[in-house]
Structure 1
């Protein structure tokens, strides 16, 4: 069972070393082993590893592995792997719900209740909703919720249609972000959308409408803000973490299908990162990762997403950016990283990075497909000398090549 989990993520589908397979997603496993001094015992138990997004029909769910390492003696270890993806999703939803109800009476100025019909049009409004949004109750009836409570432009918050789709699937959805009243005033709003069902037909729940609860919450040091940060950021670099990145990427993909805008991805991999760890220790490697993160985030737009997806590999999500602009962004980051001095021990070190660019340009494409293309470009950049940017266009019109036996050579091998 463990091998079934490892084979799909191993290079070439071959597993020869557990740590080599998982290094890209959880390079800290080697550190855990190195720092374990007893002659035997549990080195880690159910250590979670976010591997990649696996989904059907374009719906992305995180693949999360739980890894337990037990040291038998100085020469032998046992590793146990299990898929805990669904458990992680449920835990996240439960924590969101707990935070919502636990802070129901804390830092709340007021809350509003709005009723939607099955098509998402407003059919009922309480007085608090009119006060919160700045619109009269009569003006809101019959209109779309996003006409009165839209997310800010460039915000990661879901639209009303997206929230209703999730609520229809899961029963409810909780979201929060900056909103704007009719007079232009901004406020931090938590929004709960719950699906209402009247009956069941052929074992299928029939949605009759939705109930929306809006809360004007003081952002400050609220528990929900801290929890959201914990669940969405990488603990070492402060970048967006792998699981949250795929959530945001899928959200942007949904918007692409409605707006017809391109969505660009840039994969970044630090060159010769193992040499940094070997020469300067893991502290030196951590400093390199943090420095690259801080530099890249200062050079990107506010609505661009910068995430660490494993080891020394990062990804940038660029909404409404075509391939040419994505290449220009990647080149700007490449030059900046190469010019950045790193002070490690008594040395000043310069590092470089390789880049692969790809663009999702229509709703028929999947995140997995476009990221696979970007990964192939990154592979080409690495094997083309490193410290370079390779765009997806290098694969477009590449003729199929065959070996001496007439077997087509996979693109990743070219």
Structure 2
């Protein structure tokens, strides 16, 4: 008996060591999200969301950033198994103190049985930022191969002083090599007065850290004029990694008069949902945080509408995902037609969309929400001899921006959305019209 007790104590001790040493957040919860166990990393990640961890409910903690998690749980029909893997949750605020990279969490949900589930949380902010930089690089280098003769090359040393210019760079800028050799590359920088963008010295520092940096800006020309260009700064030669010392950099200048369309395509690729043309989730959080900050400075109210297509799972199960995609595109097109330039419209994931309405009071917000609902209700998707009709449930919240965060605003709107679904669907519900505990 003593041996059995010792084995159990040893296993318990090893389990605790594993939980404390595990580099990702581990959470055990019931099917309603009530947490029964979480390790220190999970506590730390939830704490960084503000007061979210106080609720001890994982869905409530993440509701302002990932309201779709509840839907994922309820729509999962298996007795056990993986519900989602690496589902990205864009928090939007800086990933850590002193870091300007927006925080992104990766969430994996596993149903352990009829009444319990396991969740993992991992901070993937740096990885997502790097992926975005790589997307930029892929598009940029692909176009570089198609027009290498249009690129000017400037060699600079580790301190940013110009060592040489190729003929294309001299042609673009109007400077001769003798005019610039020995001067700091800052002489080629000609930003707008008061611009908040990084100067070229700061860009070199980023290139030293990441290996390269790509930006758009104004490049100086001889005689005081300037031209718009993309500028890529790459580390040249082998870097001493431990000491973070580089031998020099190569600066590639690409006039935007040749690539305006490429720049637009790249911007769309990084900010929009490829299926529907709405803003993607990551870009929405970036824009929404800035809009709320702007409204707060002006003491303006801000409205947010959450939209969920009714019975969308049935559409996919009955007609197939290709038809489901047609429905998603039709809904997005209808909503963007209603909003035009009056708000920021995005697809959060699956069949969930959202619209942020700056400087919008309750009467304006409910009017727009009803117009969105009506526009969706008249959509008809032709499938052979069948005209498929869909509806949507909408919930909205309006708050003074100075007193509310984006996460809180989304949480209020999402509660109203679920109230709309519970009360019959194809309707709009105001978050102020439902009890706080609903």
Work out whether residues 25 and 50 of structure 1, in 8 Å CA contact, stay in contact via their aligned partners in 2: no
Q: Give the structure with the larger helix fraction.
A: 2
**2:424: which partner in 1?**
385
Aligned to 2:375, the other structure's residue is in SS state: helix
> Quick one: structure 1 residues 107 and 341, their matched pair in 2 at CA, closer, same or farther if it must change by over 3 Å?
farther
Number of the residue aligned with 1:24 = 68
1:53 to 91, 100, 105: 91
Q: 1:351 to 1:87 in 2, by over 3 A?
A: same
Q: 1:174 to 1:4 in 2, by over 3 A?
A: same
Tell me the alpha carbon deviations over residues 192-243 of structure 1, each in whole angstroms, 9 at most, x when there is no partner.
Answer: 9xxxxxxxxxxxxxxxxxxxx9985555342x54443333222322221111
In 1, the alpha carbon distance for the partners of 2:420 and 2:172 equals 54
Equivalent of 1:220, from 250, 256, 260? 260
State how far apart, in whole Å, the 1-side matches of 2:229 and 2:342 are.
19
- Please tell me whether residue 312 in structure 1 is matched to residue 312 in structure 2: no
Separation of aligned partners in 1, 2:437 and 2:282:
26
Find the residue that maps to 1:295 and give its secondary structure. helix
194, 200, 206: which one aligns with 1:144: 194
The question of 1:86 aligning with 2:122 is answered: no
1:168-187: per-residue Cα shift (whole Å, max 9, x none)?
Answer: 9x97997769xxxxxxxxx9
- In the TM superposition, what are the counterparts of 1:35-54 in structure 2 within 5 Å? 48-53=86-91
Cα deviations by residue, 1:292-323 (Å, 9 ceiling, x for unpaired): 01111112122522111122110011222222
- How much has 1:377 moved relative to structure 2? 0.8
SS in 1 for 2:426: coil
| Whole-angstrom CA distance in 2 between matches of 1:342 and 1:276 | 11
- The gaps in structure 2 that reach 5 residues or longer are 1-21, 37-62, 74-81, 111-117, 153-170, 174-185, 208-212, 218-226, 233-252
More strand by share: 1
Q: Is the 8 A contact 2:92 2:289 kept in 1?
A: no
Q: Does 1:4 align with 2:26?
A: yes
Matched, 1:332 2:382: no
Structure-2 change in CA distance of 1:346 and 1:24 (3 Å): farther
Note closer, same or farther for the CA distance 1:63–1:127 as it changes in structure 2 (3 Å cut).
Answer: closer
CA contact (8 A) 2:151 2:254 kept: no
Unaligned runs of 5+ in 1: 16-20, 30-42, 70-78, 112-124, 134-142, 146-159, 178-186, 193-212, 399-410
CA RMSD of superposed structures (Å): 5.1
Structure 1 residues 275, 89: closer, same or farther in 2, change over 3 A? closer
| Alpha carbons of structure 1 residues 174 and 375: separation in structure 2 relative to 1, 3 Å | farther
Structure 1 pair 336/85, CA: closer, same or farther in 2 (3 Å)? same
Q: 1:391 to 1:176 in 2, by over 3 A?
A: farther
1:262·1:321 contact (CA, 8 Å) conserved in 2?
Answer: yes
Q: Which protein has the larger Cα radius of gyration, Structure 1 or Structure 2? A: 2
Q: Does 93-102 or 335-344 show the bigger shift?
A: 93-102
